Structure 1
Amino acid sequence: MHTFVVLVSTTIATLVAAHQGDPVITAKCAPFPRAKQRPNTPRAMELGMNQTWYAEMPCTNMTEGTKTTGDDLQDYFQAQWGARKSGFYAPGDVSFVTDPFSNSSDGSAVMRVYYQKGSYTPSGSDDDVTGGCQFYMSPFEGQAFKKGLVRYDVAFSDNFDWVKGGKLPGVFGGAHGTRGCTGGDMANGDNCFSVRLMWRENGEGEAYAYLPPSNHDLCHTEGIMCNDEFGTSLGRGYLQFEKQTWSTIEIFVQMDDVDKPNGILRVWQDSRPVIFIEGLSFRTIKSFAVSDVLFSTFYGGGSSDYAATDDTFAYFRDVQFSVGEPETLVPPPSMASLSSTSPTLIIVLCIISCLLSLYS
């Protein structure tokens, strides 16, 4: 297989190696704490990361059939994985089970995600049909970073039907606590960005990004498919997924400098480089940077021809989030003007806004 390479600009970034012994943040294993301190992975060191967070899996199963007690799982993800409380879709479709494809040396469970027959994108499925899950993980407590690396292993059950495609986790950047850049909520340069993966027909894969319109030159590049209403497909077919087999995914994003489009996206599958794109613009103002893992997986696509054809599962393990130096952010112009406004005036404006909303 070949590597999908796009050099939008002639600038080649220099990747600086990290030092051994860099600090890590480790979530505790529940229900029996066994947190470990581990060094950065070789890939994180190669990319100059400063710290790595490991999402420890529970030591024992947390499952009751296909669906679980959503509140319990959501509490676990908030406490152990830094998941935000808001924007959590279908926690009841997540469970932790014994690894069905290999023997784990430490006895940890793996994360299992259930896709109900007929389910597709969260806003498209019927109210009583859910499948997959989506939540934002902020293990570094809202800090923003110049670059980030999301790593995880993924596997699919033997009856997994690829249909037309579905989402897999990736990198998100936005102001602290914000959501968006999914489900048709487009990136405009001053709100957010996201880079996830998608599986496609026959197990092919791609990077799937919400990028601002300033990347319009990308749309004329072979191997890139833009969409005015949804995300951009990058390098379709350069990844390949198999059923009942673990595959290691690594997604690296380096932010641009705002005044020049020098952002970088790199993807590896099973240590093999598959996508390398330079000259990207992730933002037009420096009010956000890499901040979250967007743990997003479901069938779709926004139409029923993407829907799961059977009750099926995907599995995840070894979820990691590595970050580089913190990014110094600049408040957007609207926030900067508000900061110079008197508190009394701000309160009055808020009251007027609330009153108007009652009649709108």
Structure 2
Amino acid sequence: MISQYLGIIHPLFPVPSSSVKTGFTTSISAGDKLPQIQILPLLDEVLGVHRVNNRTTHQLTVPPSADDDHAQAWEAFFPEGCINPGNKVAPMGGFGFFMKGPNDFATELGKATSTHVLFNYEVLFESEWEWRKGGKLPGIFGGAGDAAYTCTGGRQSDGKCFNLRLMWRENGKGELYAYLPLTSSNTEHLLSVPPRSIQHPDYGFSVGRGAFTFVPGRWTTIAERIKLNTIGYEDGEIEVFIDGKSVILATGLILRDSTAIESRVRGLHFQTFFGGHAPEWASPKTQRAWFTNVSGAILTDERGIHRDEL
């Protein structure tokens, strides 16, 4: 069962406005509705972009169907045959970097009290997009110090990091692609998320596959909410919203343990590529996608902001 929220005023911030303590957005329409949110330009130096994959680009362009709230976007370019950025032979495609948000927000994010966080963006796949077997999309990452950057590429988490990117699959089916500490409790709770969840032997969890579907040629608003567990308790939460609607909810999670009490949400792992690793994952033609209205918020730490489960 998916819980919904009351009183939301924008799909980028699909939680009660009273729960938003502070944050930022590159969306004028969202910023105008939330006075506690700072409106910023979509620029690397402003948004705390770092650890950029210098083999790819994320040029600032005017996307298709541009309007006042989609005037500029980061363009992801996928040449035919491109695949996972770890490959040594195929063309490089998509892009990859980490983003912590503006300096004042990043400072707040690093505090021990900032355990409840929301990050958001919009994505547009070109109108004739072909999905192939699947590919990665940006999501929240975190952990203890530099260990936060290590939960990708098939590495198994030891409790010091987590990575919560999204994926598209065949025919545009969406899912949460989660790296979390490998505990029996996390496995149980992740695999219980409908409509289909899978534990991969080396590459994380596919959570809620098919809970939503991407549509080429149309902007999709993605929001991810994470609540870190209290150390020693199984009370962490992950929630994914599509166009303002809650579509994936996992509760009873452990995102950090006593070996990583300094573990924090660090920001967005802003990465997109086709793959998988094998050739059958590669982009079947040259394609483009666009990302804009990047946002983040620190939420109040209270529980119980859900209404009764539907």
Report the TM-score range of the alignment, normalised by the length of the smaller protein: 0.7 to 0.9
Aligned position for 1:320: 295
Aligned position for 2:48: 82
1:113 and 2:76 matched:
yes
Letter in 1 for 2:158: N
SS in 1 for 2:283: coil
How far, CA to CA, are the matches of 2:132 and 2:179 in structure 1?
22
**Alignment partner of 2:211 out of 238, 250, 253:** 238
Aligned position for 1:295: 270
How far, CA to CA, are the matches of 2:232 and 2:83 in structure 1?
39
**Superposed, which structure 2 residues align to 1:137-156 within 5 Å?**
137-139=99-101, 140-141=105-106, 143-144=110-111, 145-156=114-125
1:216 and 2:201 matched:
no
Aligned position for 2:233: 260
- Structure 2 unaligned segments of length 5 or more: list them: 4-14, 302-310
| Residues 149 and 20 of structure 1: CA distance in aligned 2, closer, same or farther (over 3 Å) | closer
SS in 1 for 2:82: coil
The Cα of 1:220 is off from its aligned counterpart by: 5.2
**Alignment partner of 1:97 out of 53, 61, 78:** 61
How far, CA to CA, are the matches of 1:194 and 1:271 in structure 2?
22
| Residues 17 and 216 of structure 1: CA distance in aligned 2, closer, same or farther (over 3 Å) | same
CA contact (8 A) 1:168 1:197 kept: yes
Q: Which has the larger radius of gyration?
A: 1
How far, CA to CA, are the matches of 1:153 and 1:218 in structure 2?
28
CA contact (8 A) 1:117 1:307 kept: yes
| Residues 271 and 120 of structure 1: CA distance in aligned 2, closer, same or farther (over 3 Å) | same
1:158 and 2:127 matched:
yes
SS in 2 for 1:216: helix
The Cα of 1:124 is off from its aligned counterpart by: 2.1
1:136 and 2:98 matched:
yes
Letter in 2 for 1:290: V
| Residues 111 and 186 of structure 1: CA distance in aligned 2, closer, same or farther (over 3 Å) | same
Letter in 2 for 1:274: V
**Alignment partner of 1:278 out of 251, 256, 260:** 251
CA contact (8 A) 1:258 1:283 kept: yes
Letter in 1 for 2:68: S
CA contact (8 A) 1:218 1:224 kept: no
Aligned position for 2:151: 181
Letter in 2 for 1:83: V
Count of residues in Structure 1 that have an aligned counterpart in Structure 2: 276
Aligned position for 2:41: 56
How far, CA to CA, are the matches of 2:209 and 2:256 in structure 1?
24
- Structure 1 unaligned segments of length 5 or more: list them: 6-15, 42-50, 58-75, 327-360
The Cα of 1:90 is off from its aligned counterpart by: 4.2
Identity score, percent = 29
How far, CA to CA, are the matches of 1:20 and 1:234 in structure 2?
26
The Cα of 1:173 is off from its aligned counterpart by: 0.9
The Cα of 1:95 is off from its aligned counterpart by: 1.4
| Residues 39 and 272 of structure 1: CA distance in aligned 2, closer, same or farther (over 3 Å) | closer
**Alignment partner of 2:279 out of 279, 301, 304:** 304
How far, CA to CA, are the matches of 1:107 and 1:281 in structure 2?
37
CA contact (8 A) 2:23 2:298 kept: no
The Cα of 1:217 is off from its aligned counterpart by: 2.1
Aligned position for 2:87: 124
RMSD: 3.0
| Residues 130 and 19 of structure 1: CA distance in aligned 2, closer, same or farther (over 3 Å) | same
The Cα of 1:174 is off from its aligned counterpart by: 1.8
Query: TM-score, normalising length from structure 2?
Result: 0.79
| Residues 21 and 89 of structure 1: CA distance in aligned 2, closer, same or farther (over 3 Å) | closer
The Cα of 1:4 is off from its aligned counterpart by: 5.9
Could you list the per-position Cα deviations for residues 23-58 of structure 1 after superposition, in whole angstroms to 9, with x for gaps in the alignment? 54568x9xxxx9x975649xxxxxxxxx6565523x
| Residues 113 and 255 of structure 1: CA distance in aligned 2, closer, same or farther (over 3 Å) | same
**Alignment partner of 2:242 out of 253, 263, 269:** 269
| Residues 268 and 96 of structure 1: CA distance in aligned 2, closer, same or farther (over 3 Å) | same
CA contact (8 A) 2:98 2:268 kept: yes
How far, CA to CA, are the matches of 1:138 and 1:316 in structure 2?
16
CA contact (8 A) 2:25 2:296 kept: no
How far, CA to CA, are the matches of 1:107 and 1:225 in structure 2?
35
Aligned position for 2:308: none
CA contact (8 A) 1:26 1:37 kept: yes
The Cα of 1:159 is off from its aligned counterpart by: 3.1
SS in 2 for 1:296: strand
SS in 1 for 2:249: strand
SS in 1 for 2:212: strand
How far, CA to CA, are the matches of 2:245 and 2:25 in structure 1?
27
Asked which structure has the greater RCO (Cα within 8 Å, sep 6+), the reply is 2
How far, CA to CA, are the matches of 1:40 and 1:231 in structure 2?
35
